[in-house]
Amino acid sequence: MPTLIKIYYFIQISYYLEGLYTELFAAPQKKLITAILMLVHHMVTIILVLGSYMTRNQDCGVVIMFLHDINDIFIDFSKLLYAVREHNGKIRPHFKMAYTIGAFSLPVTWVISRLYYFPLNGIYRASLLPESYTILTLLHILLQLIMVMNVIWSVWMCIFYYQVINGKEVADPMSADTNKKSN
């Protein structure tokens, strides 16, 4: 396995272990279903990353990780811009515009990477691997579970964007208080 791929795997494992720790001990108040879904997501992803590394199926592992990582850029960038858009009680217009662009880029990349390429390239590609390891059956099941979570998050995202388009100011849809009233 090339050194750069090993480094990428190490970074991924570090990221998801930190995410698991954050969900368990340091996360802000979240809805119960969201907290459970995020815990399952982090645990499943850790197993998938380690499993693809142990079975030397890094081709599938890298494709699947990339297809999910590309969305994290837009998610985290939008959250950052949303957090800093206000200064002294006033919304800074340039941050609001950047936030809006970032926030509406997310569903585009989400549909392309997680709902189109992930099942057609990631899951399908993994299903073509020879069953040389018994763990591969578990990995296939876990890939399907990730797909189910992607669909659940897609529904939540549709609800969030529907509320935004209809003029409701909403907080992070994964936080406990998502029904913030607009002024």
**What's the pLDDT tens digit per position in 28-85?**
677 778 888 989 999 999 999 998 888 888 877 888 888 888 888 888 888 888 788 7
* HSE value, Cβ hemisphere, 13 Å, CA-based, for 55: 23
pTM: predicted TM-score of the whole model, two decimal places: 0.80
Tokens (6 digits) for 161: 């964007």
Question: What pLDDT, on the 0 to 100 scale, is given for residue 180?
Answer: 42
**What's the pLDDT tens digit per position in 101-118?**
888 888 999 999 999 999
**What's the pLDDT tens digit per position in 150-159?**
999 999 989 9
Question: What pLDDT, on the 0 to 100 scale, is given for residue 44?
Answer: 92
Q: Is 133 helix (H, G, I), strand (E, B) or coil?
A: coil
